[in-house]
Structure 1
Amino acid sequence: MPTNIEIKARVKNLELLLEKARSISGSQGTRLEQEDVFFNSPNGRLKLRIENEGASGKLIYYTRNDISGPKQSDYTYTIVQNPKDLKETLRLALGVRGIVKKVRQLFMVGQTRVHVDSVEGLGNFMELEVCMRKGQEMSEGTAIAEELMKDLGISDSDLVVCAYMDLLDAKNNKN
């Protein structure tokens, strides 16, 4: 299974973060509108990511410990040609846990995907995904993530330990 080293953090100053991400990546980034439909799963997490207003999608399964700071995420995915039909099939078979809608600005920095996300109902966040290479030590991926955190002005107090779906669940259970 492919592996990432990931971090997620709340964003205090969106414009400053975007400015730093543009500078570090040397690009304006790519704007993506995504709907992640999370399904009930007995193991790990299963989500259907729908992009481009349903024109394309990915079925993604992943496991990740909910800990602060850089963490290992093991995943696999399948490209989906008809995500709306698959969404209905999986809804009937497994049930929908919840839906996360976001606008994502994607920047590439070396082997790292820098996501600047505006998440419906939650606010602004930043994610780093260091895409680990075959044979690369996890400690090297962690060091890359920590260095990018510094470069982007992300402090340990900004870090979030769980997925957007978990944050939405917590928010909805408070109300």
Structure 2
Amino acid sequence: MSRNIEIKAYARDLNILKKRILGLNSDDANNVLILKQEDVFYNLPECSSGKLKLRKTDSSQELIYYDRKECNEPSLSNYRKCLVPAELEDLLKNALGTWGVVKKVRTLIMVGQTRVHLDSVEDLGNFIELEVVLNENQSSDDGKKIALDLMSLLEISENDLISVSYVNMLNEKKNNIK
């Protein structure tokens, strides 16, 4: 299983964050990807602590299972993912049912081994995620140090950190409207 250390935070201004990131990463200024993503979350047995989602983009579909404690500090995420054919979406929907959908426009910029996501999430707002992709020789503490250092360089405050996933935020918002 692959591992990374993640943080998620509110973003006041995605353009300012993008400039800061590109300032750290001047060689990679041309390696900015803009992705339209839709994540469909499937029901899992109650004994499962993770989440299963189908991520759809213009060019592919990926099935992703991940297990991460929801907290507002850099935390370990274990995950697996694989490319899947379009037909799998209906099969999963019929077999498991869905419990949430997240639509977003994501700007992806790599900073060393960290995937920086600038996300504009439909019905929620703007966020930044840092995913420090760990190699097999790195500990969680190594990844947390990288995440904390990058948070400092990008001026991400601990007060801006979010403890829950986008899908949980959307579902909570939906439940509060009812």
Asked if 1:37 corresponds to 2:43, the answer is no
Q: How does 1:77-92 map to 2 (within 5 A)?
A: 77-80=81-84, 82-83=85-86, 85-92=87-94
Distance 1:18 1:170 in 2: 29
Quote how far apart the aligned CAs of 1:161 are: 0.6
- How far does residue 162 in structure 1 lie from its aligned partner after superposition? 1.1
Map of 1:114 onto structure 2: 116
State the distance in 2 between where 1:31 and 1:138 align: 29
Structure 2 unmatched ranges of 5 or more: none
Match of 1:24 in 2: 24
SS of equivalent residue, structure 2 residue 146:
helix
How many residue pairs get aligned? The number is: 171
Among candidates 57, 63, 70, match of residue 66 of structure 1: 70
**Alignment partner, residue 137 of structure 1:** 139
Alpha-carbon distance, 1:48 to partner: 0.3
Unaligned runs of 5+ in 1: none
- 2:4 counterpart residue number: 4
Q: What is the TM-score with the length of structure 1 in the denominator? A: 0.95
Counterpart amino acid of 2:78? D
CA shift digits 1:142-172 (9 cap, x unpaired): 0000011111110000000111000001100
Name 2:56's counterpart in structure 1: 50
Aligned to 1:94: 96
Equivalent AA in structure 2 for residue 65 of structure 1: K
SS of equivalent to 2:12 = coil
Residue 12 of structure 1 and its aligned partner are, at CA, apart by: 1.1
Instruction: Report the TM-score, using the length of structure 2 for normalisation.
Output: 0.93
Q: Aligned partners of 2:3 and 2:53: how far apart in 1?
A: 17
1:25 Cα deviation from its structure 2 partner:
2.5
After superposing on structure 2, the runs of 4+ consecutive aligned residues of structure 1 that deviate more than 6 Å are: none
Give the residue type in structure 1 aligned to 2:8: K
SS at match of 1:160: coil
Among all aligned residue pairs of Structure 1 and Structure 2, give the percentage whose two residues are the same amino acid. 46
Give a deviation string over 1:53-92, Cα, whole Å, max 9, x none: xx31110000000111100000001111x23x21111010
Deviations 1:98-130 (A, max 9, x none): 110000000001100000000000000000000
Shift of 1:135: 1.7
